[in-house]
């Protein structure tokens, strides 16, 4: 079964040296459905968010998702809706 990391393998933002975090993410090998729940219902993302909360690479993962405008799944502990909110807040404070 593919993982969050495998599904986005083609992304290159940050360059190869900036991608080392991917090899140690706690989601590596996890069930894809945990990190890509079927619905927009954020409550379905709780399991993924719990895993992310324990992950040592949460920050670079989140920044990667924000930089690449990842539209699906949980990245760095945030759902797509939460990432959009962060991006809006950053635009306002820029
Ligand atoms: S923060 Fe979450 S999505 Fe990102 S690498 Fe860690 S476990 Fe995976």
pLDDT tens for each residue of 9-46: 334 444 444 788 989 999 999 999 999 988 778 889 99
Closest of 7, 48, 56, 45 to residue 27, by C-alpha: 48
User: How far, in Å, is the centroid of ligand 1 from the Cα of 34?
Assistant: 11
Bridge-partner residues for 55, per DSSP? none
Domain that holds residue 42: 4-93
**For residue range 74-90, what is the model confidence (pLDDT) as tens digits?**
999 999 999 999 999 99
Residue of the nearest CA to atom 2 in ligand 1? 52
Nearest ligand 1 atom to the CA of 75 is: 3
Instruction: Give yes or no for residue 26 CB within 6 A of ligand 1.
Output: yes
CA distance 69 to 57: 18
User: How far, in Å, is the centroid of ligand 1 from the Cα of 57?
Assistant: 7
Count of the separate structural domains present in the chain: 1
Give me Rg for the CA atoms of the chain: 13
Residue 63 pLDDT class (50, 70, 90 cuts): very high
User: pTM for this structure?
Assistant: 0.81
Bridge-partner residues for 75, per DSSP? 78
CB atoms within 10 A of CB 58: 19
């Amino acid at each position: 079964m593919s993982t969050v990391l495998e599904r986005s393998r083609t992304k290159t933002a940050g360059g190869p040296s900036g991608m080392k975090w991917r090899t140690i993410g706690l989601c590596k090998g996890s069930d894809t459905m945990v990190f890509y729940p079927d619905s927009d219902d954020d409550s379905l993302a709780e399991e993924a968010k719990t895993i992310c909360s324990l992950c040592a690479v949460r920050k670079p993962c989140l920044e990667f998702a924000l930089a690449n405008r990842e539209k699906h799944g949980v990245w760095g502990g945030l759902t797509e809706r939460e990432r959009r909110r962060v991006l809006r807040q950053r635009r306002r404070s820029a």
